[in-house]
Amino acid sequence: MNIAPGALSGLRVIDLSRVLGGPFAGQILGDHGAEVIKVEPPAGDETRHWGPPFLDGTASYFLGLNRNKRAIALDLRQDEGRAVLMRLLEDADVLLENFKTGTLEKWGIGFETLSERFPRLIHCRVSGFGADGPMGGMPGYDAILQAMGGIMSVNGTDDSGPTRVGLPVVDMVTGINAVVGVLLALQNRQRTGRGDFVEAALYDSALSLLHPHAANYALSGKLPQRTGNDHPNISPYSTYATKTRPVYLAVGNDRQFARLCDLIGAPGIAQDDRFASNGGRVTNRAALRQELEAAMAELDGAELAEKLIAAGVPAGPVLNVEEALAHPHAAHRGMTVDIDSYRGLGAPVKPQSAPPSYRSKPPQFAEHTREILSEAGFSDTEIQQLISTGISPETRQI
């Protein structure tokens, strides 16, 4: 387990967020050395229940987004709970939250109030649609934004109809955008000495993912269509059948195409006038598919993909999740993490001089209540009072 100090060592983050985008951002900051305190409501982050599977009563969904954090629970609906939060923010650099727009303001702890009391604090909000505009303040969910953001319209086939991408891509990209925003604000704080407000909206993130479809539409005026696994601008750029498993070919130029045809034993395909250029291959993609799949019909997909990519032709076998995680290159790249009984995905960004560190597995509910409150200056008597009144519940199964 790598425990070297990360690039963000010394940064303190108070993470009030729940579900996905915000917690994912907090985990990224924690992976790179930030001290992250996860503050949950008394009922806990709802993703603790989003299973099976479960580990010690906590769902895998939560486990995948909350390592490298210490946990406390606070009832922020109560004055006493908000007072504890203010104590936690006294030496914090970043406040991360995804409350519905106006909630913190209603409680008297919106950005304007916080920035007066903590002028160096960076307040990052993950929201659905942003604070203003025709849909400002409305809640957002990944699948809804895939639908409204045009992503579903270009995903799927004529038979399937518009199809949701099979993972929460909008939520996760919004989490990454939140981290980018925090890092930009930290850099600006170095220059100005002041914090800032950063908002990462699912709506904005969804629209930002529309390349190249938005660029194609802006130039041609033609509405992008569903193309299944095909690339709208390049061919062959799709999945193709072999004797065993399908392979994905991503051939970007004529040289690669000629090399592909040689390696599958069908050099004549590259000499066909219909396929002489990328434009011709896109126009005649159905005929090209027939030719390529006929040539690959007796070839082993995994072996072919390995042979092609080694020869400079972009290709890969279509693996399932188990196969992808078990691939030796996944381990070599540090993309799998084991901490005690916890298994997770590694951080994809790895500065050479300050690599990510995996210091602790995801916390149990309110696991670190007493130590966090003690560090914030509360006496044992005050801590017991906060626990007994439910302002800051102690560890329990939820």
pLDDT tens for each residue of 187-197: 999 999 999 99
Q: Where are the beta strands (DSSP E) in the chain?
A: 12-15, 35-40, 54-55, 58-59, 70-73, 94-97, 122-127, 196-201, 237-240, 247-250, 315-317, 336-339, 342-345
Predicted pLDDT of residue 370: 97
Token pair of 319 as six digits:
């693996």
Q: What is the mean pLDDT of residues 87-101?
A: 96
Between vectors from CA 21 to CA 63 and to CA 180, what angle results, nearest 5°? 115
pTM (2 d.p.): 0.93
171 classed as catalytic: yes
Contact 203, 135 (CB under 8 A): yes
Tell me the Ramachandran region of residue 145: left when phi exceeds 0, alpha when psi lies from -120 to 50, beta otherwise: alpha
- The average confidence (pLDDT) of the chain is 95
Band (pLDDT 50/70/90 cuts) for residue 3 is low
Predicted pLDDT of residue 398: 60
| Phi, psi (deg, nearest 5) at residue 342 | -95, 135
Q: What is the mean pLDDT of residues 55-67?
A: 95
The single residue of 93, 171, 196, 230 carrying the catalytic annotation is 171
291 has pLDDT over 90: yes
Band (pLDDT 50/70/90 cuts) for residue 4 is low
In sequence order, the β-bridge partners of residue 15 are 38, 96
DSSP for residue 49: G
| Phi, psi (deg, nearest 5) at residue 36 | -115, 125
- Cα-to-chain-centroid distance, residue 174: 7
Taking the CA atoms of the chain, what radius of gyration do you get in angstroms?
A: 25
Domains in the chain with CATH codes: 12-209+331-388 (3.40.50.10540), 247-317 (3.30.1540.10)
pLDDT tens for each residue of 141-179: 999 999 999 999 999 999 999 999 999 999 999 999 999
Predicted pLDDT of residue 1: 47
Calculate the alpha carbon distances from 252 to 11, 53, 128, 258, 302 in Å: 43, 41, 36, 11, 21
